[in-house]
């Protein structure tokens, strides 16, 4: 029978081999009346002893052989006494274990489940079961089956089991009634159900296009969608117009619904710069708290440290160095006022200044913490300062619930233990994370923030660094003097020329920066592969895996990460006999591949070569895929001196990393960077992105492509407008309405 043919099969569940409670993914053994069949798929809350009808396809796992992959299923209660015993013994009903299950089934036989559901008090005839305990068992049984019934009803709407599971967890037992009344309740934060899918379900329920719930949900959807573009708020006129256009309803109806949402405090509206802006409440709270806390820190600064000038002179004499005036100013601000933004481009002495601040604070007995937004940025900070640095999430002791929603153990009630906090790469920090950090900061604590305002802004909502600087309220020291040793680097001078809107020098071939002209996209991808495989290793001794990094503006097209990774994998790690491969979500991974972690995973375990163990792998961490174990369904990745073991379910957190986007490279530095510069969408071809890429290179930078594309990037000084309120809130607007 063809693997592509959709099949139906029924049988009893004999064993649940594996279950992921987060997404419902299950591996079970089912008796179809003829043989035991391995069934895999999203089958949440399926228990031993139940009867299943599954619809799906036969597949062949490379290790585990033939399996039935379920795409849909129905569940039925066990019908025989033996099946009921298996079911209750499996732990499907809280409070009933194997011993109690045997007693209940012995007493009631094939009536067991009916008694549990309809007459649970009768269980009290069994020795050891009180009436109170019997009623509790009945309640647990009804609840368990209520969940299962709800799952099936939700899936009947076209939702996947994973989506149904999220809805149940977020909305609760009344989810079916609520969905019938308002299908758009599924779009609330936490469920992650696309608005389009809720719209389809609403249409199946014959809800009209101008349904009040639909219009309200559409407005909130547009607002949440724009968080992905960095906005914390949207002008009310633009929001109403965008929602009306998306929904196909009159503008007046969208405006009316928006007003209602504001009036009932579902959304927040404030006038800023003589224009009304609308916020999601949590984003408004984050910006307001951030502004008020910064203003409080300015009003009640940290205790000044005396003798700063003398301390600077002592360091200069001891180290045989001379600080520039701006560097001295930064040191004084940090020690005297305790609130500072230190900014500047490459080669301007930010690290030297920061090290002096840390040294002087520690000499005065202050406890200093160092933080950065990503694991790679924290590691780099540690290398440059010689001090331990942690991710902000690690500092705040992030915790995750069953729905992957985060909270922090460090907060207003459990403050960080420090006298000074130094935060690097502030441009990458979004408003929600900055808000959480400030809430955990003790009163009187120093806050020294370091960042480059010409770098790309945070992926998440907000423009923290830009708004703090633009407000004019926070002390800012901008280092703009390029030191002599850095002047010899064409990487450094090119970065500063790009920021100034000038073309980098392309004729100098005796330095650390080269431009290689190439006018064809396919030829350019071949050139990049050759640079990584042959030319740079032969000329400079660079390792293609650990030293050379290809950066590119986007993910799509001939020169996007997808195609470049495919070509570079072929060039740098071709298939060989004995070299194992595995396909995960359509991406081929091969032993020896360069890979990257794409999300923070604080529970992922690792082992160092010295036997030390720990947990935590972070977004942007790079490594080499050193082993694929099909039998155990695991991947082992070496990240520096750590071996990280991935189950196939967590391997989705990995992607090939021969090439990565410039955005993904933030917080990292690489010995050699190769970047295609080729005509593309204007939203990806702009000055700040080019500058960010250039500043990722420590020793060698190669830009390859067309002069026209390079010139276009230099000239395109678009700074995507982010609607945020922090700057105006700091200046006193919208705080007391």
CA–CA separation, 386 vs 187, rounded Å? 47
Is residue 381 a contact partner of residue 369, using CB atoms and an 8 Å limit?
no
Predicted confidence (pLDDT) at residue 454 exceeds the cutoff of 90? no
Predicted confidence (pLDDT) at residue 485 exceeds the cutoff of 70? no
Predicted confidence (pLDDT) at residue 441 exceeds the cutoff of 90? yes
pLDDT, residue 1, reads: 36
Averaged pLDDT, 222-232: 91
Q: What is the mean pLDDT of the chain?
A: 89
Q: Which long-range contacts (CB under 8 A, 24 or more apart) does 363-369 make?
A: 363/311, 364/305, 366/419, 366/420, 366/446, 367/417, 367/418, 367/419, 367/420, 368/418, 368/419, 368/420, 368/421, 368/422, 369/395, 369/416, 369/418, 369/420, 369/421, 369/422
pLDDT, residue 79, reads: 81
Instruction: Indicate the SS3 state at residue 18.
Output: strand
Q: With a threshold of 0.95, does the pTM exceed it?
A: no
Predicted confidence (pLDDT) at residue 2 exceeds the cutoff of 50? no
Instruction: Indicate the SS3 state at residue 703.
Output: strand
C-alpha to C-alpha distances, 478 to 304, 343, 350, 469, nearest whole angstrom:
21, 5, 9, 10
DSSP secondary structure code for residue 573 in this structure: S
How crowded is residue 34: how many other Cβ atoms within 10 Å of its Cβ? Answer: 7
Is residue 214 a contact partner of residue 207, using CB atoms and an 8 Å limit?
yes
Q: Minimum mean pLDDT among 178-192, 297-311, 319-333, 572-586: which range?
A: 178-192
pLDDT, residue 228, reads: 85
DSSP H helices in 264-307: 281-299
Predicted confidence (pLDDT) at residue 561 exceeds the cutoff of 60? yes
How crowded is residue 381: how many other Cβ atoms within 10 Å of its Cβ? Answer: 24
pLDDT, residue 737, reads: 55
CA–CA separation, 659 vs 557, rounded Å? 13
Structure tokens at 418: 């420090």
Q: Which residues, 6 or more positions from 605, have their beta carbon under 8 angstroms from its beta carbon? A: 613, 614, 615, 644, 645
CA–CA separation, 10 vs 7, rounded Å? 10
Predicted confidence (pLDDT) at residue 734 exceeds the cutoff of 70? no
Q: Choose among 359, 381, 396, 367: nearest CA to 426.
A: 381
pLDDT, residue 63, reads: 62
Averaged pLDDT, 387-402: 86
467 confidence band (pLDDT: 50, 70, 90) = very high
The percentage of the chain sitting over the pLDDT mark of 90, rounded to a whole number, equals 55
Torsional class of 682: left (φ above 0), alpha (ψ -120 to 50), beta (otherwise): alpha
C-alpha to C-alpha distances, 269 to 95, 177, 493, nearest whole angstrom:
49, 31, 45
Structure tokens at 50: 């139940």
Q: With both helix axes pointing from N to C terminus, report the angle between 350-363 and 375-385 in degrees, rounded to the nearest 10.
A: 70
pLDDT, residue 510, reads: 67
pLDDT, residue 43, reads: 84
pLDDT, residue 404, reads: 62
How crowded is residue 191: how many other Cβ atoms within 10 Å of its Cβ? Answer: 19
Averaged pLDDT, 470-474: 95
CA–CA separation, 25 vs 18, rounded Å? 8
Provide Rg for the chain, Cα atoms: 30
Predicted confidence (pLDDT) at residue 28 exceeds the cutoff of 80? yes
How crowded is residue 263: how many other Cβ atoms within 10 Å of its Cβ? Answer: 10
Instruction: Indicate the SS3 state at residue 229.
Output: helix
Measured in Å, how far apart are the chain's first and last C-alpha atoms? 69
CA–CA separation, 478 vs 482, rounded Å? 12
pLDDT, residue 3, reads: 41
Instruction: Indicate the SS3 state at residue 322.
Output: coil
Predicted confidence (pLDDT) at residue 645 exceeds the cutoff of 60? yes
Q: Which residues, 6 or more positions from 346, have their beta carbon under 8 angstroms from its beta carbon? A: 486, 491, 492, 495, 496, 695
pLDDT tens, residue by residue, 111-124 = 998 898 889 899 99
The percentage of the chain sitting over the pLDDT mark of 70, rounded to a whole number, equals 96
Burial 547-585 (b: 16+ CB within 10 A, else e): bbbbbbbbbebebbbbbbbbbbbebbbeeeeeeeebeee
Q: Choose among 703, 705, 706, 700: nearest CA to 537.
A: 700
pLDDT tens, residue by residue, 308-323 = 899 999 999 988 889 9
Q: Which residues, 6 or more positions from 556, have their beta carbon under 8 angstroms from its beta carbon? A: 562
Beta-sheet strand order (sheet of 622-629): 613-617, 601-608, 642-647, 634-639, 622-629, 594-597, 654-656
153/646: higher pLDDT: 646
C-alpha 525, offset from chain centre = 29
How crowded is residue 20: how many other Cβ atoms within 10 Å of its Cβ? Answer: 15
Predicted confidence (pLDDT) at residue 713 exceeds the cutoff of 90? yes
Burial grade of 735 (CB within 10 A; 0-12, 13-18, 19 or more): middle
Averaged pLDDT, 231-241: 96
pLDDT, residue 647, reads: 82
pLDDT, residue 41, reads: 86
CA–CA separation, 701 vs 172, rounded Å? 54
CA–CA separation, 233 vs 118, rounded Å? 52
Is residue 676 a contact partner of residue 705, using CB atoms and an 8 Å limit?
yes
Predicted confidence (pLDDT) at residue 361 exceeds the cutoff of 90? yes
Averaged pLDDT, 698-717: 94
Is residue 349 a contact partner of residue 327, using CB atoms and an 8 Å limit?
yes
CA–CA separation, 421 vs 436, rounded Å? 14
Neighbouring C-alpha atoms within 13 Å toward the C-beta of 254: 22
Among 173-177, 478-482, 655-659, top mean pLDDT goes to 655-659
CA–CA separation, 243 vs 252, rounded Å? 11
Partner residues linked to 368 by β-bridges: 420
Averaged pLDDT, 396-403: 76
Among 15-24, 575-584, 599-608, 668-677, top mean pLDDT goes to 668-677
pLDDT, residue 261, reads: 95
Beta strands of 165-222 (E only): which ranges? none
pLDDT, residue 484, reads: 56
Q: Choose among 373, 369, 323, 377: nearest CA to 349.
A: 323
Beta strands of 362-491 (E only): which ranges? 368-372, 389-391, 398-400, 406-408, 420-423, 446-451, 476-479
Structure tokens at 300: 């009640």
485/605: higher pLDDT: 605
609/508: higher pLDDT: 609
> What is the four-CA torsion angle of 221, 222, 228, 232, rounded to 10 degrees?
-100
Burial grade of 35 (CB within 10 A; 0-12, 13-18, 19 or more): exposed
């Amino acid at each position: 029978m063809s693997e592509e043919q959709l099949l139906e099969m029924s049988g009893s569940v004999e064993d649940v081999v594996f279950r992921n409670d987060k997404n419902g993914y299950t591996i079970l053994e089912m008796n179809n009346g003829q043989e035991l069949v391995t069934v895999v798929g999203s089958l949440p809350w399926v228990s031993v002893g139940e009867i299943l009808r599954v619809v799906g396809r036969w597949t062949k796992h490379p290790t585990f052989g033939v399996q039935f992959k379920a795409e849909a299923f129905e569940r039925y209660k066990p019908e025989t006494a033996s099946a009921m015993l298996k079911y209750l013994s499996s732990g499907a009903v809280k409070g009933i274990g194997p011993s109690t299950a045997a007693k209940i089934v012995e007493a009631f036989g094939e009536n067991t489940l009916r008694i549990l559901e309809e007459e649970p008090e009768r269980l009290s005839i069994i020795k050891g079961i009180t009436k109170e305990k019997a009623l509790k068992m009945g309640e647990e049984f009804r609840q368990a089956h209520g969940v299962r019934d709800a799952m099936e009803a939700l899936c009947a709407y076209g939702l996947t089991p994973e989506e149904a599971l999220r809805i149940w967890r977020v909305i609760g037992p009344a989810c079916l009634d609520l969905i019938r009344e308002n299908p758009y309740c599924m779009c609330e934060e936490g469920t992650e159900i696309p608005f389009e899918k809720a719209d389809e379900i609403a249409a199946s329920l014959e809800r009209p296009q101008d349904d009040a719930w639909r219009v309200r949900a559409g407005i909130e959807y547009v607002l949440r969608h724009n968080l992905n573009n960095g906005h914390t708020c949207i002008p009310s006129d633009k929001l109403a117009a965008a929602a009306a256009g998306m929904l196909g309803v009159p503008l007046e109806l969208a405006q009316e619904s928006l007003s209602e949402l504001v009036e009932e405090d579902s959304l927040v509206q404030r006038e800023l710069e003589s224009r009304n802006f609308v916020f999601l409440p949590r984003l408004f709270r984050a910006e307001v708290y951030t502004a008020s806390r910064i203003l409080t820190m300015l009003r009640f600064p940290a205790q000044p440290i005396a003798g700063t000038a003398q301390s600077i002179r002592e360091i200069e004499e001891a180290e045989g160095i001379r600080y520039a005036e701006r560097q001295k100013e930064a040191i004084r601000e940090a020690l005297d006022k305790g609130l500072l933004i230190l900014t500047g481009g490459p080669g301007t002495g930010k690290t030297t200044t920061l090290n002096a601040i840390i040294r002087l604070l520690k000499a005065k007995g202050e406890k200093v913490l160092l933080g950065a937004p990503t694991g790679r940025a924290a590691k780099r900070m540690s290398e440059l300062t010689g001090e331990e640095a942690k991710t902000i999430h690690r500092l705040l002791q992030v915790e995750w619930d069953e729905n992957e929603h985060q909270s922090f153990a460090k907060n207003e009630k459990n403050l960080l233990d420090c006298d000074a906090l130094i935060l690097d790469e502030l441009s990458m920090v979004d408003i929600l994370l900055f808000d959480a950090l400030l809430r955990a900061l003790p009163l009187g604590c120093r806050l020294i923030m370091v960042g480059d305002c010409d770098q790309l802004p945070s992926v998440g909502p907000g423009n923290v660094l830009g708004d703090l600087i633009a407000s004019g309220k926070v002390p800012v020291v901008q280092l703009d003097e390029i030191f002599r040793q850095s002047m010899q680097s064409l990487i450094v001078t090119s970065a500063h020329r790009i920021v100034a809107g000038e073309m980098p020098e392309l004729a100098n071939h005796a330095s650390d920066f080269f431009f290689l002209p190439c006018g064809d996209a396919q030829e350019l991808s071949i050139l990049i592969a050759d640079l990584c495989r042959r030319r740079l290793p032969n000329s400079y001794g660079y390792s293609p895996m650990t030293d050379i990094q290809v950066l590119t503006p986007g993910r799509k097209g001939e020169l996007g990460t997808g195609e470049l990774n495919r070509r570079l994998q072929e060039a740098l790690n071709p298939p060989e006999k004995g070299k194992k491969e595995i396909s995960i979500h359509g991406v081929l991974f091969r032993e020896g591949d360069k890979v990257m972690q794409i999300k923070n995973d604080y529970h992922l375990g690792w082992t160092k070569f010295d036997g030390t163990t720990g947990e935590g792998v972070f977004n942007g961490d790079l490594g080499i895929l050193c082993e694929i174990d099909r039998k155990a369904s695991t991947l082992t990745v070496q990240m520096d001196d750590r071996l990280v073991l991935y189950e196939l379910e967590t391997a989705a957190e990995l992607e090939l990393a021969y090439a990565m986007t410039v955005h993904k490279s933030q917080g990292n530095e690489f010995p050699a960077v190769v970047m295609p510069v080729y005509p593309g969408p204007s939203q990806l071809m702009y000055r700040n992105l080019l500058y960010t890429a250039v500043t990722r290179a420590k020793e060698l930078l190669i830009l390859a492509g067309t002069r026209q594309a390079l010139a276009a990037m230099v000239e395109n000084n678009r700074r995507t407008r982010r609607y945020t309120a922090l700057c105006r809130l700091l200046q006193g607007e919208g705080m007391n309405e």
